């Protein structure tokens, strides 16, 4: 028999008994827990982000040096909301003259610092000034400090480019003088002149050391965003009709605005920016569409700011803390919502890849003890809490970690991939390594992320992500490649390329490529439709004996169009080509022996979720009663045909015995078995009927 459309068919060896297929072609990889993992990975990454033209707004610059105008301080008094711990900060500053506020950029540290200085320096008749960081290193000394004045100093997140510059982190002043000693020097200058100074320190290693020392620093907690937003709206719209303020407040809580923003709790700087957009919208200067575009730009802007900070300094080991922070954020983009231990380990693996890319001669180690527990997630706007990981037969509690905003994960992943070309190499190597992890909680997330990135640049992703996965001996990596290809084919402009690639692989001589093509079609995405994927599986079955293709056909059966798949399988029963008949028989045998939760796909099938622990055949009968007729025809054929009768009897007996342990499953089968025995033109084989009857009598 010749194969269809160029697929070679091996010689017919004669009558061969079909056996019940055991597990997946990948020895169970990705079954237990894969369904929940795939669902969460899709939910976190399939979110639209704002247009690049808004995300390309300039990032905030360092605060200007010099006296703070009185008008700015007056405006501050009208808008500022007291943060948690403000009284303690004021007392520390009054008593010691110097306070280091440690927190993330955009959380309102500068406003709090100015408020503290205006209150204390104002009481003595002094003014408020901003200082440059050179004062820490002796370049300005203490001559800039005037008696009774207040001074705000921000340690820059973006350092000057030249190591000989005294503010560069590789300057000897940085390398040899710990941050607490630098602040000791500044405090002496301030105390000598009875002045006050607030130093803003970004979260990181310097902040951790200062907080451990406990002499100068306090951890900064931002105020609630709702209060900050309302204060800014009131200030911006104070000269207009009261109706405008009411409109802006109502717009701020609209569901579509919150969804576009995608942040659980905007930071004070973001709340101030959002207030400007809401005020412009209320005054008619901004349309609904443009308002939502601006809101969708907040998360990409945060991602862009994070990765821009991580680009300086550019030599190791000075860059290692920044690389580690970037790795944590990128790992969270892939593992958002999963176990903290998985995310942390993935971040360390990516840190190594980034470090050896920056300096191949330097092999970085890992800090054994964290500087401050919880500091890593906080740096990434993430929190830890109670979570659950699905293991198939059971679920286990875990300490989970997730971004504080549903748009942050895709924003970080896209910014890293699209905005920093030299990040792609280490990210690709990292994702490929994760795709070789046997735990579906790891490889499924990595594969989905790889597919998302391939869709954004298929030419690069095909060579750097997909081909290396396909051309290994690891069955898990081939499954990951198939998952990534199916995920990438969601993009309409990429799907024809993926479909063509899989067609070539299906007709080629490479067994690994052919198996990957079969696995990819099991998701029903790459060929453009479920019937088209099913037809491709029918072609590949001529070369693989139904081993992999029956698993993928079964995955299609557990998808969004079970009736379509059953119709295709029934049609194959009447096909003159034995490989297609065998594929139909093997698929139905798998349906009565395979747990539904093992057959996760890349589309949501909520109707099957209540029956995840049941065999797929039982779940289909419960969720789609209309499938009963075709399912009965397929099972009846398997029971009556000589090639499959023995395997079908064993499968059916096991199916019934399993249902006997669950009243709900037994009720479903009780309604189905009479249809199996009585419908159709051919009666059941006598031996099969007797055996099934004996099993039923023994229940």
| Phi and psi angles of residue 246, each rounded to the nearest 5 degrees, phi first | -65, -40
> What length does the chain have?
699
Q: What's the mean per-residue pLDDT of the chain?
A: 86
CA angle 392, 393, 399 (to 5 degrees): 65
Structure tokens that stand for 696 in this block:
């039923």
CB atoms within 10 A of CB 575: 13
In the block, residue with structure tokens 């990596």: 477
In the chain, % of residues over pLDDT 90: 57
Q: Is the peptide bond before 217 cis (omega within 30 degrees of 0)?
A: no
CB atoms within 10 A of CB 218: 18
Are 411 and 300 within 8 A, CB to CB? yes
Q: Give the model confidence (pLDDT) of 203-220 as tens digits.
A: 777 888 888 888 899 999
Are 299 and 405 within 8 A, CB to CB? yes
Residue 247 has pLDDT above 70, yes or no: yes
Residue 621 has a pLDDT of 97
In the block, residue with structure tokens 């990292």: 430
Lowest mean pLDDT: which of 168-172, 628-632, 659-663, 690-694?
A: 168-172
Residue 551 has pLDDT above 60, yes or no: yes
Look up the CATH architecture of domain 82-219.
3-Layer(aba) Sandwich (3.40)
Q: How far is it, in rounded angstroms, from Cα 518 to Cα 530?
A: 13
Residues in contact with 698: Cβ distance below 8 Å, sequence separation at least 6, in sequence order: none
Burial of 360 (0-12, 13-18, 19+ CB in 10 A): exposed
Q: Which of the four pLDDT bands, split at 50, 70 and 90, describes residue 160?
A: very low
Residue 177 has a pLDDT of 64
Q: Give the model confidence (pLDDT) of 33-42 as tens digits.
A: 788 899 899 8
Burial of 322 (0-12, 13-18, 19+ CB in 10 A): buried
| Chain centroid offset of residue 84 CA | 32
Q: How far is it, in rounded angstroms, from Cα 327 to Cα 467?
A: 24
Q: How far is it, in rounded angstroms, from Cα 57 to Cα 50?
A: 12
* Residue 387 β-bridge partners: 398
Are 407 and 262 within 8 A, CB to CB? yes
Secondary structure letter of residue 40 according to DSSP: H
| Chain centroid offset of residue 175 CA | 37
When pLDDT is averaged across residues 548-576 and rounded to a whole number, the result is 94
More confident residue, 137 or 87: 87
Q: Give the model confidence (pLDDT) of 44-86 as tens digits.
A: 988 765 444 444 455 555 567 889 998 889 888 888 888 999 9
Q: Which of the four pLDDT bands, split at 50, 70 and 90, describes residue 27?
A: low
Q: How far is it, in rounded angstroms, from Cα 505 to Cα 478?
A: 13
Q: Which of the four pLDDT bands, split at 50, 70 and 90, describes residue 31?
A: low
Q: Give the model confidence (pLDDT) of 282-310 as tens digits.
A: 999 999 999 999 999 999 999 999 998 87
When pLDDT is averaged across residues 677-685 and rounded to a whole number, the result is 60
Q: How far is it, in rounded angstroms, from Cα 490 to Cα 48?
A: 14
Is the sign of the CA dihedral 77, 82, 87, 90 positive or negative?
negative
Give the closest residue to 376 by CA, choosing from 405, 406, 410, 351.
351
Q: How far is it, in rounded angstroms, from Cα 1 to Cα 581?
A: 14
Residue 4 has pLDDT above 60, yes or no: no
Pairing between β-strand 382-390 and β-strand 150-154 as defined by DSSP bridges: unpaired
Please give the C-alpha separations between residue 438 and each of 29, 31, 117, 469, 488, in angstroms, as whole numbers. Answer: 6, 10, 56, 14, 22
Please give the C-alpha separations between residue 614 and each of 227, 659, 671, in angstroms, as whole numbers. Answer: 50, 9, 16
More confident residue, 689 or 384: 384
Q: How far is it, in rounded angstroms, from Cα 120 to Cα 127?
A: 10
| Phi and psi angles of residue 202, each rounded to the nearest 5 degrees, phi first | -70, 150
More confident residue, 45 or 684: 45
More confident residue, 163 or 373: 373
Residue 544 has a pLDDT of 83
Residue 443 has a pLDDT of 95
In the block, residue with structure tokens 């875990």: 398
Residue 63 has a pLDDT of 64
Secondary structure letter of residue 602 according to DSSP: S
When pLDDT is averaged across residues 311-319 and rounded to a whole number, the result is 74
Residue 89 has a pLDDT of 95
Residue 494 has pLDDT above 90, yes or no: yes
Q: Give the model confidence (pLDDT) of 417-474 as tens digits.
A: 999 999 999 999 999 999 999 999 999 999 999 999 999 999 999 999 999 999 998 8
Residue 677 has a pLDDT of 75
* Domain range summary for the chain, segments of one domain joined by +: 9-49+312-488, 82-219, 225-296, 505-699
More confident residue, 174 or 665: 665
Distance separating the N- and C-terminal Cα atoms of the chain: 46
Residue 16 has a pLDDT of 67
More confident residue, 311 or 555: 555
Q: How far is it, in rounded angstroms, from Cα 563 to Cα 360?
A: 55
Residue 189 has pLDDT above 70, yes or no: yes
Q: Give the model confidence (pLDDT) of 348-387 as tens digits.
A: 999 999 999 999 988 788 888 765 666 678 889 999 999 9
């Amino acid at each position: 028999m010749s194969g269809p459309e160029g697929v070679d068919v091996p010689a017919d060896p004669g009558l061969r008994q079909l056996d019940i297929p055991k597990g997946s072609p990948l020895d169970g990889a990705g079954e237990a827990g894969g369904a929940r993992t795939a669902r969460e990975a899709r939910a976190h990454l399939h979110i639209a982000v704002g247009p690049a033209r808004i995300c390309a707004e300039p990032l905030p610059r360092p605060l200007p040096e010099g006296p703070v105008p009185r008008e700015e301080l007056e405006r501050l008094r009208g808008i500022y909301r007291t943060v948690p711990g403000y009284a303690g900060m004021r007392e520390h500053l009054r008593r010691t003259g110097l306070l280091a506020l440690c927190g993330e950029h955009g959380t309102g540290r500068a406003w709090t610092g100015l408020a503290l200085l205006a209150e204390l320096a104002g009481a003595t008749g002094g003014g408020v000034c901003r200082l440059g960081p050179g004062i820490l290193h002796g370049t300005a000394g203490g001559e800039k400090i005037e008696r009774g004045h207040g001074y705000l100093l921000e340690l820059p997140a973006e350092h000057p480019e030249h190591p000989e510059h005294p503010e560069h982190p590789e300057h000897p002043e940085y390398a040899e003088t710990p941050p607490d000693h630098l602040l000791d020097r500044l405090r002496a200058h301030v105390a000598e002149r009875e002045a006050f100074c607030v130093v803003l320190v970004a979260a990181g290693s310097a902040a951790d050391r200062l907080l451990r020392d406990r002499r100068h620093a306090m951890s900064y907690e931002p105020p609630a965003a709702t209060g900050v937003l309302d204060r800014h709206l009131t200030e911006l719209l104070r000269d207009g009709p009261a109706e405008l303020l009411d409109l802006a407040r109502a717009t701020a809580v609209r569901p579509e605005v919150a969804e576009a923003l995608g942040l659980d709790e905007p930071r004070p700087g973001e709340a101030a920016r959002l207030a400007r957009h809401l005020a412009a919208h209320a005054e008619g200067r901004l349309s609904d569409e443009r308002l939502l575009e601006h809101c969708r730009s907040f998360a990409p802007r945060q991602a862009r700011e994070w990765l821009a900070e991580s680009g300086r300094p550019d030599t190791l080991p000075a860059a290692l803390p920044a690389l580690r922070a970037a790795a944590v954020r990128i790992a969270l983009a892939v593992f958002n919502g999963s176990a903290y231990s998985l995310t942390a380990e993935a971040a360390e693996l990516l840190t190594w890849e980034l470090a050896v890319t920056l300096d191949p001669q330097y092999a970085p180690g890992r800090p054994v003890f964290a500087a401050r527990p919880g500091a890593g997630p906080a740096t990434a706007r993430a929190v830890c809490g109670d979570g659950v990981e699905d293991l198939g037969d059971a679920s286990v509690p875990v300490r989970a970690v997730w971004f504080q905003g549903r748009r942050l994960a895709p924003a970080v992943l896209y910014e890293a991939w699209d905005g920093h070309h030299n990040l792609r190499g280490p990210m690709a190597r990292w994702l490929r390594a994760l795709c070789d992890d046997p735990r579906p909680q790891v490889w499924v997330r990595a594969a989905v992320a790889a597919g998302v990135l391939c869709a954004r640049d298929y030419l690069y992703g095909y060579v750097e992500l997909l081909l290396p996965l396909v051309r290994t001996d690891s069955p898990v990596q081939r499954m990951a490649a198939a998952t990534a290809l199916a995920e990438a084919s969601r993009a309409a402009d990429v799907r024809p390329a993926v479909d063509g690639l899989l067609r070539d692989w299906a007709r080629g001589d490479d067994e690994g490529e052919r198996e990957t093509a079969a696995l990819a079609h099991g998701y029903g995405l790459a060929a453009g439709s479920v019937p088209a994927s099913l037809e491709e599986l029918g072609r590949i079955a001529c070369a693989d004996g139904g081993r992999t293709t029956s698993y993928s056909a079964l995955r299609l059966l557990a998808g969004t169009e079970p009736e379509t798949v059953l119709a295709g399988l029934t049609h194959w029963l009447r096909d003159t080509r034995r490989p297609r008949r065998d594929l139909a028989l093997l698929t139905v045998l798998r349906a009565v022996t395979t747990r539904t939760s093992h057959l996760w796909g890349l589309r949501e099938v909520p109707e099957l979720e209540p029956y995840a622990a049941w065999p797929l055949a039982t779940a289909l009968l419960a969720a789609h009663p209309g499938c009963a007729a075709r399912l009965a025809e397929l099972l009846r054929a398997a029971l009556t045909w000589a090639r499959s009768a023995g395997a079908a009897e064993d499968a059916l007996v096991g199916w019934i015995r399993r249902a006997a342990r669950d009243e709900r499953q037994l009720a479903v089968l009780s309604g189905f078995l009479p249809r199996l025995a009585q419908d159709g033109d051919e009666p059941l084989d006598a031996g099969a009927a007797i055996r099934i009857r004996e099993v039923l009598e023994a229940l």
